[in-house]
Amino acid sequence: MNLFRFQTGDGPHLGLMAGDGRRFDLTAAAPQAFASVAAWLGLPEPVAAAREAAGRAEAFPVAGDVAVLAPVDAQEVWAAGVTYERSKVARMEESESGGDFYDRVYEAERPELFLKATPRLVVGPNQPVRVRRDSTWDVPEPEMTLVLSSAGRIVGVTVGNDMSSRSIEGENPLYLPQAKMYDGACALGPMIRIVDDELDLRALAIRLTISRGGAAAFTGETSTARMRRTPEELARWLFRELAFPDGAFLMTGTGIVPPDDFTLRSGDVVEIAIDGVGVLTNPVA
């Protein structure tokens, strides 16, 4: 079961996509529980509520030409760093100061967590992501992104693109907020896959394709099985001393890093696919 956010004449609504591809308007079917992503994530049992409302939603079909929005409205987007060994090695190599602290945080009990985006900064499917004008080395970071209820439970996952300036972070790790957080640096979508017994968050294949001039300029693949930490562990650390009354999104790190001589260019197209979750496509501006 998938939830999505789409534009209507009276504002954004939440929709449900069934396994056969049919789409329904959850907001019309249950206006209070599904008035927004925040309303849904604030429910005591968001997954059970979505399943219960699915039957009623069939009376409210969604036309095929609606604009699908980023699946976020009031939620902060956080990110975890250095959760894959490949990411640790890349960060150590790019760092002008040697980067042994990346090795230490990879092995430590406490993960690296940082604020990636406020809702205003998140773009949806087919909307442009950006590279910074003052950066010379830029890459997308394909990441399984957890959808967390206000109680801190993992209720869904979506596809995330954590755009990153490797030149700025490599110059000084204290520049991380500038390397990671700017206009067009975060993309999410297109759907939220509701967690169920068929979805193993520890064994999802993630694929990245960067197209340039109609041809593949880079491809890469990894699996969430290579994560150093579990999704549940990362969620617990995020909620340890922070409250999220509207829920939260948590990017879980990347295991795909293009070679050092590769950098994104304006006009490239980034496609991130996660098995069982969806495909997120964004042009680069």
Which pLDDT tens digit goes with each residue over 129-139? 999 999 999 99
Which pLDDT tens digit goes with each residue over 149-203? 999 999 999 999 999 999 999 999 899 999 999 999 999 999 999 999 899 999 9
User: Per-domain residue ranges for the chain?
Assistant: 2-69, 76-283
Kindly report the CATH class assigned to 76-283.
Answer: alpha beta
Predicted model pTM: 0.94
Q: Which helix (H) or strand (E) holds 24?
A: strand 23-25
User: Structure tokens of 44?
Assistant: 């005591």
CA distance linking residue 54 with residue 234, whole number of Å: 30
Can you tell me whether residue 92 is helix, strand or coil? helix
Predicted pLDDT of residue 235: 98
Q: What angle do CA 183, 186, 190 make, to 5 degrees?
A: 130
E runs forming strands in 125-214: 138-139, 142-148, 154-162, 164-165, 186-194, 205-212
| Helix locations, the chain, DSSP H | 26-29, 37-41, 46-57, 85-94, 100-107, 166-171, 176-180, 231-238
